[in-house]
Amino acid sequence: MLKNRHLVGWLQAAPLTVILLAFLVLPIAAIVTVSFWEATEWSIIPAFSFENYAFLFGSEVTGRVFLATFQYAAIAWAATLTIGFTVAYFLAFHVRSLTMQIALFLLCTIPFWTSNIIRMISWIPFLGRNGIANQALMDLGLTDQPVEWLLYSDFAVILAFVHLYTLFMVVPIFNTMMRIDRSLIEAARDNGATGFQILRHVIVPLTKPGIMIGTIFVVTLVMGDFITVRFMSGSQRANVGRLISNDIALLAYPSAAATAVVLLCTVLITIAIMLRFVDIRKEL
């Protein structure tokens, strides 16, 4: 009887196992394999070599690009966390009606009914030299001429990242806050805790799993995004995703694969470090 149960369990897990092997493990294994191949201007040589990794770690340009990628991820994370935590806190603790909570939450999702490209490009006429933002600044007398750094700059890239990925921070934080036992907040208030003390010692610690899930979403998405950097910087900035995209466009697949492997390892190490501090399995 026990053997039959084990057999049924293996049979139930088999379809998911096959899917993971076919669409996750094998593609990653193929990328890792190709990353050790050699390439010339005319051909790809399936020979084992560390040439791609040696060039990757020895290039000063690559170092600057990785640093820029980390900076984008850190700034976007800080901005999305601030906005996401504020929105989630307002929805969870200041909106009493469940119907209103759902309505306001759905309102936050409206921009996501369109594609990322459309939402990103919509900032270009707003931030442009003759756009709405510059026109408003000049009408208010805050500047005599258009501000150049609003578009095709790091500011525009970060703004687009925050716009695109804030909801990925709002959803897990809001979900965690809704699970907080309100009696804990009442107990803290009855014991004389101020609003800030309740926030710091009760709400934030209990919201850490949601914050960590949102952080994983935002950091991984920002570090792998290349199209946003390309359009919003006017091709004047680069991140690791753009390096991979450029190598693929040049048919330099081994170099692109090596960069992808390093990026994947970096993201996995970052996630592993974060999981050391918070057990997100409570939220899964």
CATH number at residue 255: 1.10.3720.10
* CA separation, residue 137 to residues 134, 153, 159, 163 (Å): 5, 18, 18, 21
Residue 21, in any domain of the structure: no
In degrees, to the nearest 5, what angle opens at C-alpha 141 toward C-alphas 135 and 146?
Answer: 40
The structural domain count of the chain equals 1
Whether residue 221 is contained in a domain is answered as yes
Q: Which residues of the chain have pLDDT under 70?
A: 1-5, 280-284
Look at residue 114 in the predicted model and tell me its pLDDT: 78
Judge whether 117 lies within some domain.
yes
Predicted local distance difference test score (pLDDT) of residue 3 = 58
> CB of 123 within 8 A of CB of 232?
yes
In a domain, 270, yes or no: yes
Q: Is residue 274 part of a domain?
A: yes
Tokens 């560390």 sit on residue? 50
The residue behind tokens 């770690």 is 57
Model pTM score: 0.86
Domain-located, residue 209: yes
Is residue 16, in this structure, part of any structural domain at all?
no
Contact 188, 180 (CB under 8 A): no
What is the token pair recorded at 255? Answer: 């170099």
pLDDT per residue over 256-273, tens digit each?
Answer: 999 999 999 998 998 888
Report yes or no: 220 and 238 within 8 Å, Cβ to Cβ.
no
Looking at the domain assignment, is residue 230 inside a domain? Answer: yes
Query: Which range marks the domain in which residue 180 is found?
Result: 61-283
